[in-house]
């Protein structure tokens, strides 16, 4: 996780995590009230109560890769607008919703916010039966919940409006607890699956384009328990102006950044093994 931006030292962060489709957005405002969070960051949106105050929804993207990149603030104009908003809003507290602790830390790091003071998991606020029911709904209907009034979602969403719901509990404010049910555009076309071989080929290609890397680097990809990637590279280095360590570090950084950028995947670690030197 990158060092926090000193401009945001007076922003308090917390995280709310759980696997996709487990009902996080449906419980978002309830958890935010409990954690005294002023704002919610959910899939690229910055939300205060039921109002979108900044950002763009990942659920409005046309495919899952773009949706993941949007949620991780990989688009510079999107990131700049959100950072500008929080420079004006600080001091404040922010709750980041994510599918894993690693993703939450990645979003917080991208924004330059301090590390989260607390991480709440969906299992802390929902029963196994409720989680199973939410996952069944997601799998069978492809429907997502946005913790925003349907009137505001209609102005910011390109997919299909399915319905709306109201929660029974109330927070500390009189704001309406309305949620909007949507079907994102990317859910119309099925799921996106990236084979490990494709990631291996991409990593090897990126490594081969680094100066002083000999042709034919070999890449291997592994998945962690948190669905992040570990990439291992074997390569030979051509003797030149840069040291072996410098070339290896350049390869490591470029592969980690490029795989995350092009595939929308979380890269936990990239290890580079130099197997030889060519003259």
> What DSSP string runs through 145-159?
EESS-HHHHHHH--S
According to the model, what pLDDT value does residue 30 have?
85
According to the model, what pLDDT value does residue 3 have?
59
Phi/psi of residue 244, each to 5°? -60, -45
Mean per-residue pLDDT of the chain? 80
Q: Which two tokens stand for residue 242?
A: 């840069």
* Among 55-69, 119-133, 195-209, the least confident range: 55-69
Render pLDDT for 2-15 as a digit per residue (tens, 0 to 9).
556 777 999 999 99
Measured CA to CA, the distance from residue 84 to residue 75 in angstroms comes to 14
Render pLDDT for 32-49 as a digit per residue (tens, 0 to 9).
988 999 999 988 999 887
* Residues contacting 182, CB < 8 A, separation 6+: 59, 143, 144, 145, 146, 153, 157, 159, 160, 161, 162
According to the model, what pLDDT value does residue 66 have?
79
* Among 100-104, 191-195, 238-242, the least confident range: 191-195
Structural domain boundaries in the chain? 6-189, 196-278
pLDDT of residue 233 exceeding 80: yes
Report angle CA 89, 125, 152 to the nearest 5 degrees: 45
According to the model, what pLDDT value does residue 21 have?
80
pLDDT of residue 212 exceeding 50: yes
According to the model, what pLDDT value does residue 93 have?
96
* Percentage of the residues of the chain whose pLDDT score is greater than 70: 76
Count other Cβ atoms within 10 Å, centred on residue 150: 19
User: CB–CB of 108/5 below 8 Å?
Assistant: no
| pLDDT band at residue 141 using 50, 70 and 90 as cut-offs | low
What is the pLDDT averaged over residues 109-115?
94
Render pLDDT for 52-66 as a digit per residue (tens, 0 to 9).
889 888 877 767 777
What is the pLDDT averaged over residues 255-278?
86
Report the top-level CATH class of 196-278: alpha beta
**Which residue bears the tokens 């205060």?**
48
* Percentage of the residues of the chain whose pLDDT score is greater than 90: 43
Measured CA to CA, the distance from residue 32 to residue 93 in angstroms comes to 10
Count the alpha carbons within 13 Å of 225 in the hemisphere toward its beta carbon.
1
pTM for the structure as a whole = 0.60
């Amino acid at each position: 996780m990158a060092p926090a931006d000193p401009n945001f030292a007076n922003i308090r962060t917390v995280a709310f995590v759980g696997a996709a489709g487990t009902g996080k957005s449906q419980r978002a405002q309830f958890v935010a009230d409990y954690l005294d969070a002023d704002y919610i960051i959910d899939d690229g949106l910055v939300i205060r109560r039921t109002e979108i105050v900044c950002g763009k929804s990942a659920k409005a993207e046309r495919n899952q890769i773009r949706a993941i990149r949007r949620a991780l603030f990989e688009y510079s104009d999107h990131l700049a607008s959100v950072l500008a908003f929080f420079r004006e809003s600080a001091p404040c507290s922010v709750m980041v919703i994510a599918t894993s602790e690693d993703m939450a830390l990645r979003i917080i790091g991208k924004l330059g916010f301090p590390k989260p003071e607390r991480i709440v998991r969906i299992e802390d606020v929902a029963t196994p039966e409720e989680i199973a029911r939410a996952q069944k709904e997601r799998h069978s209907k492809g429907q997502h919940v946005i913790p925003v009034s349907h009137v505001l979602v209609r102005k910011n969403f390109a997919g299909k409006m399915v319905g709306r719901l109201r929660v029974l509990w109330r927070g500390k404010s009189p704001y309406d607890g309305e949620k909007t049910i949507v079907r994102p555009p990317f859910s119309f076309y099925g799921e996106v699956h990236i084979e490990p071989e494709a990631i291996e080929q991409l990593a090897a290609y990126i490594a081969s384009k680094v100066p002083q890397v000999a042709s034919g680097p070999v890449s291997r990809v592994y998945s962690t328990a948190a669905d992040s990637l570990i990439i291992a590279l074997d390569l030979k280095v051509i003797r030149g102006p840069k040291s072996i360590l410098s070339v290896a570090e350049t390869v490591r950084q470029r592969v980690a950044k490029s795989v995350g950028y092009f595939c929308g995947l979380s890269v936990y670690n990239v290890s580079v093994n130099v197997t030889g030197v060519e003259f």
